[in-house]
Structure 1
Amino acid sequence: MLSCCEISKGSFAENKTEKLMWHEAVTTGPQKSNVKTFCSKNILAILGFSSIIAVIALLAVGLTQNKALPENVKYGIVLDAGSSHTSLYIYKWPAEKENDTGVVHQVEECRVKGPGISKYVQKVNEIGIYLTDCMERAREVIPRSQHQETPVYLGATAGMRLLRMESEELADRVLDVVERSLSNYPFDFQGARIITGQEEGAYGWITINYLLGKFSQVASNEILRDPCFHPGYKKVVNVSDLYKTPCTKRFEMTLPFQQFEIQGIGNYQQCHQSVLELFNTSYCPYSQCAFNGIFLPPLHGDFGAFSAFYFVMKFLNLTSEKVSQEKVTEMMKKFCSQPWEEIKTSYAGVKEKYLSEYCFSGTYILSLLLQGYHFTADSWEHIHFIGKIQGSDAGWTLGYMLNLTNMIPAEQPLSTPLSHSTYVFLMVLFSLVLVTVAIIGLLIFHKPSYFWKDMV
């Protein structure tokens, strides 16, 4: 009798034998070639199909990834309501911004037909029609889907400033009508206001520096290349230090860095152009102005330039009256272009804080005198840079003292104890007494016997 184990072993042996016989049968003879051909064709078909799928997938992914994205931009409208006309500007920038500041560029300008809005003070009902053409142009340029999110600003300048000085009520009346007219359009109107001359100058400064790439230079490396410092000059400045004075506090903004580096490039002409931006000459309510609407009388006679004018020009060796205005300008160009290391060596005894600023200070003085006060090459010779006059410093302190002394009550002048006539009489009397005494003394000394004989 066979055990279960033996039966199992027998069955396994039989199965193995059958499999070996079958494998030998299919792998020998003509059938062997047919099987290989069949397998090869199937494998090639699978590989080919997989390759096609892979190519299609690659193309699909590539096209999807590199498909042009829809333009994600924002628009803004600014109306410049000047004294002679009004202009509408449309600006555009990527919605993502850069350093939290829109990378803005102008896409459209529309000049409103007619004079400035201040001229409509007696016909305010025409202001709506006055603005229609340019506002309709803005509708066409800006996609309809973005109308409601597009801000509109109106800034009024010189003309409205003058109108407000004449009558604040009339100025407000014009602005109210302007606001009502602009609010009727499908844009996000942000209001109309009169901007000050200082604001106009500051915004112009921002525009110029932005378009010249100055701000991007400070943001890509946190470096400001300044033409008013000598080539090679470097200084790290805290951003917070820029806004410590009352003049700059209101322009404070948040920047993505705490410090930046000033690098001098020593270019007098560029420095001169930057300084000129400080002088607002866009309007003049008088026959002749210096800047910022300040009256300037005709230049006549001699002029004394003292204090900082004298000290700066003295350092630069430009106080001589024999040096012409053209020569002064040429010498300033040469000075500003000198390398910083060379300047430090030449003026080793001067503190670097003051030494580094003479290029700017000299340029500022020239710009103020020539473009601010309108001195010419001919009138330049009448400017005298004065340090002292008859041993006294030329400055404000002596004048201040003189002014204060005029406020002190005058006292009675001190008088002599005797009148003039009494004084003369006594002087003559005592002189005669002295002469008499002197004569008697001489007689006693030379002829004593004669004197005593007479006495006897």
Structure 2
Amino acid sequence: MPPPNAAHSWLAGRHFGIVIDAGSSGSRLQIYSWKDPRTITLEKGDPLAYTLPKVEKGTQDEDQWVSKVEPGLSSLADNPESAGAYLRPLLSHARDHIPPSLQKETPLFLLATAGMRLLSPTKQAEILKETCRFLITHSNFKIDGPSAVGPCGSSVRIITGEEEGLFGWIAVNYLMDGFTGSSKERTTYGFLDMGGASTQIAFEPSLAHQGNTKNLIDVRLRLLGGDEIRHKVYVTTWLGYGTNQARERYVGKVVTEFEASRGEENDNDVVPDPCLPRGLELTESPVHASRPASSHLSATHRLRGTGSFEQCVQNASSLLNKNAPCPDSPCLMNGVHVPPIDFSVSHFIGVSEYWYSSEHIFGLGGAYDFVQYERAASKFCSRDWPGILKEHEESRWGPNVELPRLQMQCFKAAWIANVLHEGIGMPRIVDPGGNSTTDADKVVEEAEKKGLGRPRPTFQSLDTVGDIAISWTLGKMVLEASKEVRP
């Protein structure tokens, strides 16, 4: 497909930016675009002056703005010279959709995340060097020259979990109008992200606490009117607190406790697990069993679901490690310092696993209601596995829900609840009627008192805003577009 002609009306005054998100399971190229801020005429008092450049999908055919290859870039650890063949489809896609006359001024970033972070420094350097060489020699896109950061400067590199969280925070606030309006009107959202390996938080502490908080990141963005806005953001990551690694730690814990409690003559290796639906039996190896581990303790065990959401929440709560030493008070989970959060004024958006665990089976994505969430989770966890399996075969939950999601939904739902309430400290709403009854008006009234109700809930899980996916790559592009605004 030939690239669009630069004379096309849609392209008039349009700038582009490309981000390749090199994740652990694949690399996704995303093309963004925005109007050149210098071509936008603003009248005095124009509300546009208090907004950021509008960053949107970079192709008119909305399906073409993204292209993906699998597996992850880190899979080239033993074969870095294959980086060119790996990236060629992505680069061809970008060249096909951005006019040749605009490619020299179009920045291209390849930013690697979790998978590449796990490689040795030598392997990382080899892959990044080959990646840089290929992108420079096979495209005309704007790529940094060599620097202390790497062979392609800041254009090709591995980003930290904190950077990923910061870009996510920018994306959420851009999409939710957290940066719009005059300084007195602006209130930003906090950002929560959870994957398989880690969970992140990014938020702007209150002015009262900013002076006492170390390691705040100074975010500067320029509005279309030329004014610079500044936000001081706190970002931190908990490794091992993503859903998959939390599950591994949980299996180690329950197997250790099971072995410690049974007698020597008891040869029953079936471990009861309230975090699995009733009757589901899985064979798992305790990766994180307590040491010193006996050969029997470290062997494969069968876990059989007993289906109790409440018991699962209770059993998994110790994995938050809330009692760890806290060298820099206050701390949340695992002795990690986090500035105080006032949930009566702070509002958070959760993405990734926060969305999947709420929406894909429970249908409760969006504004979070603890009463509804707990009821849905309790009902699902207590169901018999054969009944769940039958409904899956009948496609009740649609193509987004695969068998591993159904197997782990009870645990993941409990882990999300633990992190939100016990870990981060978000208040619950207590349903006085228990799980079977609720007085809706009183619940909403109580929610609003605690900052959990309408019109702006303390927490909501989201996947998209409008037709734009919430992605850290968008946050990176908002930063780039903002740099083009003249003071």
Same fold (TM over 0.5): no
Identify the structure with bigger relative contact order (alpha carbons < 8 Å, sequence gap 6+).
Answer: 2
Q: TM-score range by the shorter chain?
A: 0.3 to 0.5
Name the structure with the higher strand share. 2
Structure with more helix by fraction: 1
